[in-house]
Homo-oligomer: A and B are copies of this chain.
């Protein structure tokens, strides 16, 4: 069965048991949002106890407070009433295993998938590549706790983020499933 067929079959099963979820309102019932990583091992609905309708979930590579994540968070509170936000990075994140320079060089060489060895990612594909990777900030992570602190501070300091929003900083441990607080981040995200 192809991935596409599997997804459609799983969706049909979900829709058959949909129940009264079609009545849910647009604004999140529990008035909060989570910004976290796209990593396949993370299921924020499961690790944070969300049912459909509860909370906004924003995800990107690293769970970073990119301009786009901030666009989403501002829409989340200004139009849809969230007032507490979680920034949740995680252990063993792929974003810790490369730098902007490594990524741009890999893309220069080819657009095929790189291999991950003991010394980081290395290219195994044939060209052509593209130099476009040099124009992108890949938002890699050098220090996990520091990246949470920086992202909470970036959100807290944004001119469109009101002082009354609480912002919590956590790291998710992919080995245990546990959320571990980054106290300096949570402190930096406290409502003013």
Contact = CB atoms under 8 A, between A and B. Distances in A.
A61 interface: yes
A10 B49 contact: yes
Given A94-B80, A103-B78, A174-B22, A60 B49 contact: no
A41 B61 contact: no
A48 B107 CA distance: 30
Contacts of A21: 41, 177
Contact of A60 (B68, B159, B168): B68
A24 B168 CA distance: 27
Interface in A22-57: 22, 24, 26-33, 38-43, 45-50, 52-57
A47 B159 contact: no
A167 to B, nearest CB: 11
Contacts of A53: 40-41
B86 A98 contact: no
Q: Interface residue tally of chain A, by bracket?
A: 35 or more
A32 B3 contact: yes
A67 interface: yes
A22 to B, nearest CB: 4
A142 to B, nearest CB: 16
A144 to B, nearest CB: 14
A42 B47 contact: no
A185 to B, nearest CB: 13
Nearest to A16: B177
A136 interface: yes
16 contacts: A3-B31, A7-B49, A7-B179, A10-B49, A11-B49, A12-B178, A14-B46, A18-B176, A41-B53, A57-B59, A79-B94, A79-B97, A79-B103, A79-B106, A79-B113, A132-B160
